[in-house]
C-alpha cells in the first residue's frame, strides 16, 4: 500500500515511517520543511513532498494515489488559537483525502475520560477529540486510536516521569498524582498504527489503546524508581497545585518546557482508562503484548543509557520559534543583521575539529563561560522557553531538525559546517555557525559566526546590551573548541602509537 505520513519529523511519525517500510508499504512524507527529514536513516527510502495540512493546494499532490493517510499532527503548544488551528487543519485534510480517493485515514488522538462531556475537558483533550470526530465524519473510513501516557525513550511523558523521579527524592506534588491512567509502550502504539492500515473498509470508529497496567502517576513514579534502582521516593500530594502551577514546576525540574507540560498536566487530572480493547480484533496482540509498564520502562531506559534515542518530543519546534529566512539569504528586507565572527588556527586535522563541533552541547557543554550559559538557560526557562535542558537526541551525531539545548540544527554539511537556529526567547532571530576548514597552506582553521536579526527597538537594545560579553562567550568558545580538537588529536595519536608498539611486540 502507499501510505502518506504527516508529522514524519515528530516523535511518533519519525518512528512510524521505518515500521511502515519494514512492513512492505510505500511511504510518502508531508513536511513543511522537507530538508528537516533528509538526515533520517530512512530518508532515501521515502518520497518527501512539501506541504501543510492546512493548505489544500499542497495536500492535493501529497494525497494523490495514496491508500492510507496517517494524521499525526496537532497544535499542542501553538498558542491561544490552537483549537481553531486544529479544527481547520482536520477539516481541510478530511476534505482533500475524500476528494483524492484515500481508502483510510489513521489518526492518533488522546484517550478521554468516561462520563465527562467533551466540552468540559481540558482544551487540548477537547481538541484531540474534535479532530477525531471530524475525521470520522469525513466520508473516508477512519481509524482513531486513543492513547493516554505513551512510554518510550524520548517521549515527553517518559521524560517528565524520568526527571521528576530521578531529581526529586522528596516530592511535593499536585493531587493528580493519585489519578489513574493506563500507559502504553510506544512500540505497541506503532504496532497498532501499522496494523490499522489493513483494516476492512467497513471499519470507521475509535479504539482505546493501552497497556495491561492501570496505575496512578504516583505508582508510575514509584515503579520507575524500582526499575531504575533508585532509593524509594517520598511523595506528598498538595491539592492547591493547579495544572498551571504544576506545569511551571515541571518546567523547572524537567527538560519539558511549561508550554508543553501544561497540556500534559491538564490531561493527567482526568482518569483515563480504556473502556474496551476491540483493536485486538483487527490488530491481534502477539504473546507478551501489549507490554507491561515495567517492561516498557526498562526498554526506554536502556535506549537512553545506550544513547539510541531515535526521536524525541523536542523533534517538534517550539511555538514562536524563528524560521526562514536563513542568514545566508541575500536580501534581509532592509533590516539589520549583526554578526560576531571569530577564527582560530587549529593544530589538528579538520576531521578532529569536526568531531568537536558535532559533539557540542548537551553533556559536552558550550566550551565557554559555563555559568553564563547556565544563567541564560535559566532565564529562558523562566519566560517559558526551552532552556538548556533539552540536551541532544544523540551524544555524537546531529541531523537537520534536531533540538540541541535551546538551539535547533538548521543546516549541516558533514565535516565542514554546522548552523544552529536559536529557539530561546529573543527579541529577534539568531543563528550560530561553526566551520571546520582548511586554509591555503593546508592548515586547519576553525571559523565561527554568530548572527542576530533584531526585531524592533527591543532587539536593538538586546544586541548592544550583550555585546560586551561576546569576547568572553564567543571568543572563549572559539579558543576552547580549537584546544579540544587539538587535545583530541593528541590523544588519538598517542593511542595509535601505543597500538603500533603493541603490534610490533
List the domains of the chain with CATH numbers: 2-313 (3.40.50.720), 338-493 (3.30.530.20)
Model confidence at 142: pLDDT above 50? yes
Alpha-helical regions (H) of 77-172: 82-99, 123-136, 156-167
Q: What are phi and psi of 296, to 5 degrees?
A: -60, -40
For the segment 70-78, the average pLDDT, to the nearest whole number, is 76
For the segment 40-59, the average pLDDT, to the nearest whole number, is 94
353-382 pLDDT per residue, tens: 999 999 999 888 999 888 888 888 888 877
Handedness of CA 365, 370, 376, 379 (dihedral sign): positive
More confident residue, 503 or 475: 475
Model confidence at 384: pLDDT above 80? no
Model confidence at 4: pLDDT above 50? yes
More confident residue, 173 or 480: 480
Q: What is the pLDDT of residue 56?
A: 94
Average pLDDT along the chain: 86
Tell me the C-alpha distance between 217 and 149, whole Å: 10
H/E stretch holding 338 reads: strand 338-346
323-343 pLDDT per residue, tens: 444 444 434 444 578 899 999
CB 258 within 8 A of CB 247: yes
H/E stretch holding 171 reads: strand 170-174
How many other CB atoms sit within 10 Å of the CB of residue 163? 16
More confident residue, 290 or 176: 290
Contacts from 49-57 at CB under 8 Å and sequence distance 24+? 53/6, 53/89, 53/90, 53/92, 53/93, 54/85, 54/88, 54/89, 54/92, 55/92, 56/92, 56/95, 56/96
More confident residue, 209 or 245: 209
Model confidence at 14: pLDDT above 60? yes
H/E stretch holding 268 reads: helix 258-268
For the segment 86-110, the average pLDDT, to the nearest whole number, is 96
pTM exceeding 0.85? no
Grid coordinates belonging to 449: 559566526
Q: What is the pLDDT of residue 105?
A: 98
CB 68 within 8 A of CB 102: yes
Q: Which of 405, 251, 377 is closest to 314 using CA atoms?
A: 405
Q: What is the pLDDT of residue 81?
A: 74
Model confidence at 233: pLDDT above 50? yes
Q: Which of 19-33, 226-240, 250-264 has the highest mean pLDDT?
A: 19-33
**11 to each of 92, 151, 156, 270, 382, how far by Cα in Å?**
23, 12, 9, 24, 25
Residue written as cell 469525513? Answer: 138
Q: What are phi and psi of 275, to 5 degrees?
A: -90, -15
Q: Does residue 183 sit in helix, strand or coil?
A: coil
157-189 pLDDT per residue, tens: 888 888 888 877 777 676 677 889 999 999 999
Buried-state track 234-260, b at ≥16 Cβ within 10 A, e below 16? ebeeeeebebeebbbbbbebbbbbbbb
Amino acid at each position: 500500500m502507499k501510505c502518506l505520513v504527516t508529522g514524519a519529523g515528530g516523535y511518533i511519525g519519525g518512528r512510524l515511517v521505518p515500521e511502515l517500510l519494514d512492513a512492505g508499504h510505500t511511504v510518502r512524507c508531508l513536511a513543511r520543511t522537507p530538508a528537516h527529514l533528509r538526515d533520517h536513516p530512512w530518508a532515501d527510502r521515502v518520497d518527501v513532498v512539501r506541504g501543510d495540512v492546512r493548505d489544500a493546494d499542497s495536500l492535493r499532490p501529497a494525497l494523490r494515489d495514496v491508500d492510507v493517510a496517517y494524521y499525526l499532527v496537532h497544535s499542542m503548544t501553538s498558542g491561544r488559537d490552537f483549537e481553531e488551528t486544529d479544527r481547520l487543519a482536520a477539516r481541510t485534510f478530511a476534505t482533500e483525502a475524500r476528494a483524492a480517493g484515500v481508502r483510510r485515514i489513521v489518526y492518533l488522538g488522546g484517550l478521554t475520560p468516561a462520563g465527562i462531556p467533551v466540552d468540559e475537558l481540558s482544551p487540548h483533550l477537547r481538541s484531540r477529540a474534535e479532530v477525531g470526530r471530524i475525521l470520522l465524519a469525513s466520508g473516508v473510513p477512519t481509524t482513531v486510536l486513543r492513547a493516554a501516557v505513551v512510554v518510550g525513550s524520548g517521549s515527553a511523558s517518559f521524560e517528565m516521569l524520568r526527571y521528576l523521579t530521578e531529581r526529586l527524592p522528596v516530592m511535593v506534588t499536585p493531587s493528580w498524582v493519585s489519578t489513574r491512567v493506563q500507559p502504553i509502550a510506544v512500540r505497541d502504539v506503532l504496532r497498532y498504527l501499522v496494523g490499522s492500515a489493513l483494516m476492512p473498509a467497513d471499519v470507521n470508529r475509535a479504539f482505546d489503546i493501552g497497556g495491561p497496567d492501570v496505575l496512578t502517576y504516583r505508582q508510575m513514579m514509584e515503579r520507575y524508581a524500582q526499575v531504575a534502582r533508585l532509593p524509594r521516593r517520598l511523595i506528598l500530594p498538595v491539592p492547591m497545585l493547579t495544572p498551571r502551577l504544576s506545569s511551571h514546576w515541571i518546567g523547572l525540574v524537567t527538560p519539558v518546557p511549561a508550554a508543553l507540560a501544561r497540556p500534559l498536566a491538564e490531561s493527567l487530572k482526568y482518569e483515563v482508562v480504556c473502556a474496551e480493547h476491540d483493536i485486538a480484533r483487527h490488530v491481534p496482540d502477539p504473546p507478551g503484548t501489549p507490554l507491561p509498564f515495567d517492561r516498557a520502562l526498562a526498554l526506554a531506559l536502556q535506549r537512553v543509557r545506550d544513547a539510541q534515542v531515535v526521536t524525541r518530543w523536542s523533534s517538534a519546534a517550539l511555538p514562536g520559534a524563528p524560521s526562514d529566512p536563513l542568514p545566508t539569504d541575500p536580501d534581509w528586507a532592509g533590516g539589520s543583521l549583526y554578526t560576531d565572527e571569530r577564527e582560530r588556527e587549529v593544530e589538528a586535522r579538520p576531521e578532529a575539529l569536526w568531531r568537536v563541533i558535532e559533539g557540542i552541547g548537551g553533556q559536552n557543554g558550550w566550551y565557554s563561560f559555563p555559568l553564563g550559559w547556565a544563567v541564560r538557560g535559566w532565564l529562558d526557562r523562566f519566560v517559558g522557553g526551552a532552556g538548556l535542558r533539552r540536551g541532544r537526541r544523540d551524544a555524537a551525531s546531529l541531523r537537520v531538525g534536531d533540538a540541541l539545548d535551546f538551539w535547533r540544527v538548521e543546516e549541516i554539511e558533514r565535516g565542514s559546517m554546522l548552523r544552529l537556529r536559536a529557539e530561546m526567547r529573543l527579541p529577534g532571530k539568531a543563528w550560530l555557525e561553526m566551520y571546520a576548514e582548511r586554509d591555503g597552506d593546508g592548515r586547519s582553521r576553525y571559523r565561527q559566526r554568530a548572527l542576530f536579526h533584531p526585531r524592533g527597538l527591543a532587539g536593538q537594545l538586546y544586541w548592544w546590551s550583550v555585546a560586551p560579553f561576546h569576547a568572553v562567550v564567543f571568543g572563549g568558545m572559539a579558543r576552547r573548541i580549537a584546544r579540544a580538537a587539538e587535545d583530541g588529536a593528541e590523544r588519538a595519536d598517542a593511542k595509535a602509537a601505543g597500538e603500533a608498539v603493541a603490534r610490533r611486540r
